Amino acid sequence: MTKGDRAQTVMEILSALYPETPIPLDHSNEFTLLIAVLLSAQCTDERVNKVTPELFAMADNSKGMSKVPVNKIREIIRPCGLSPRKSKNIKDLSILINTKHEGKVPSTFEELEALPGVGHKTASVVMSQAFGVPAFPVDTHIHRLAQRWGFTRGKNVKQTEADLKKIFPVDNWSKLHLQMIFYGREYCTARGCDGTICPMCRELYPNRKTPKKINKA
């Protein structure tokens, strides 16, 4: 099976398994999505969704959040981990959005990545899910699956993203990003599969007998 054949098989199987791709993080607008994605760093979506209702009840826009004391933000988001840094970034980016961007979340990669605490992956999620711009954010699940499925050597997430963008059609990027996350959580988990166990790995590499070594993100 060629790399192109594998890509087509992946798209067909994932589309059958996950025809709908709801955004896992609860949000009501571009700002709350940005904050939720920022909080999800080294934290599960489920935990973020338990924390954000109280946070967004206080403020669901940059103007309101810029007025919330950073200690109050930190207290609410503590279960998400890294709360001192995340709370400061939330406060600082809210002020910046409110003063520099007229209260609107910027809609370019360059402007998003200039915000405190917003890296390329966070910016990619917001661009894709809030503004409909094709993007292929790579998290630990996608980085793992892309290696097991033979789409990248996985030197780092930046290289994995570039390799995936070369293989898959641009119109599929945003949906495939979520489909791969869903599959990685449900079937091809870090410990539950080693490249020889889950249905997709067996379909793509039926003759693979030894575990696939994975480079961590």
30-129, CATH topology level: Endonuclease III; domain 1 (1.10.340)
DSSP 73-96: HHHHHGGGS-HHHHHHHHHHHHHH
Task: Give per-residue pLDDT as tens, 42-56.
Answer: 999 999 999 999 999
So where are the chain's domains?
A: 30-129, 136-204
Using DSSP, state whether 210 is helix, strand or coil: coil
Q: How far apart (Å, rounded) are the C-alpha atoms in residues 190 and 23?
A: 22
pLDDT tier for residue 194 given thresholds of 50, 70 and 90: very high
The residues annotated with a catalytic role in the active site are 121, 139
- State the average pLDDT for the chain: 97
> What CATH code would you report for 136-204?
1.10.1670.10
- 2: pLDDT strictly greater than 80: yes
Residue 46: alpha-carbon gap to chain centroid: 13
- 78: pLDDT strictly greater than 90: yes
